[in-house]
Amino acid sequence: MPPERQGAGGGPQGPQSGHPGGASAGPEGHRPAHHAAPKAGHHGSVPPGPPPTGGQTSGAPSESDGAPQLTGRERLKAGLWPPRLNRAQLIAAVLLFILGLGLAIQVRSTSDSSALRGARQEDLVRILDELDDRSQRLEDEQRRLEGQKTELENSSDQAEEARKQTVEKEQQLGVLAGTVAAEGPGISLTINDPSRSVEADKLLDTIQELRAAGAEAIQVNDVRVVANTYVSDVRGGVEIDGKRVVQPFRFKVIGKPEDLEPALNIPGGVVQTLEKEQATVSVTRQDKIVVDALRKAERPDYARSSSQ
């Protein structure tokens, strides 16, 4: 084998002169010298490599430098996230969002009111009337519920309050039924009949006139007058609910005196009718009348409360 030629640096030269590792030109200077391939195990010989192209430089990075190679998708993702917004872009995005929201609300309200735009005047008036009625009913219901709420809040114990109301209702019914005593303003009426000409019908007319004038409790002598009271004539006198009463007939009446007294003294009324029978009538207003005659509570034979 021909000996290897050494370059200026002492290393093997390539196929072209002027480059490290190349071969020198032949005797004519045109044809490059051919080198034999190095044998395995031969020390000091290096296989000739391809000549560097014009776009490559000795300092270009390669995969052996350790830099990761990114795919197109990864480069796109890295460019989009995290977003890099400046202040002007952020303000523009907020303004566009607000504008879009306003447009959406406007479109929705316009579509909701489109049904009323095509309605007739009579239909619109009817709709407004219905809305007014509904609003009034709701306001009334609100006031009623607020009143109930106030009552419950003011009561420290609801059970105690309910018990008190029950007792008050029982007393009111007892006054009307004659099972409890009563007191209050009213009048006292006294009828003196020396000639014994006042009969049962005159006494019944007096009771009815007092009831019509607003009497809440009536007592004649020692008999309590109630809803089912009856008056009858007997020999030598008058009976009220089967009890004999004698003159003078003393009425104790609880009610508004300003209504009771004029009702008896009207022209052609009770007082004038009794005076025609030769009876003496006196009517006196009083601030406190006590009706203490009682009746025994009787259970009805057939009637029952519908709430049971």
Edge to edge, the sheet with strand 243-245 lists: 231-234, 237-240, 243-245
Q: Report pLDDT for 231.
A: 94
Q: Is 35 helix (H, G, I), strand (E, B) or coil?
A: coil
Please give the pLDDT value at position 44.
Answer: 44
**Which SS3 state, helix, strand or coil, does residue 281 take?**
strand
- Bridge partners of 132, per DSSP, are none
Pairing mode, strands 243-245 and 237-240? antiparallel
CA angle, residues 143, 144, 148, in degrees to nearest 5: 115
What pLDDT score does 24 carry?
A: 41
CA-based Rg of the chain, rounded to a whole angstrom?
A: 62
Provide the whole-model pTM. Answer: 0.47
Positions in the chain short of pLDDT 70: 1-68, 80, 82-85, 109-119, 155-157, 307-308
Token readout for 289 is 């009348």
How far apart CA 189 and CA 254 sit, in angstroms, is 11
pLDDT value at residue 10 = 45
pLDDT of residue 1: 43
Structure-block tokens of residue 185: 């303003």
Q: For residue 238, what pLDDT is reported?
A: 92
Q: Residue 257's pLDDT is what?
A: 93
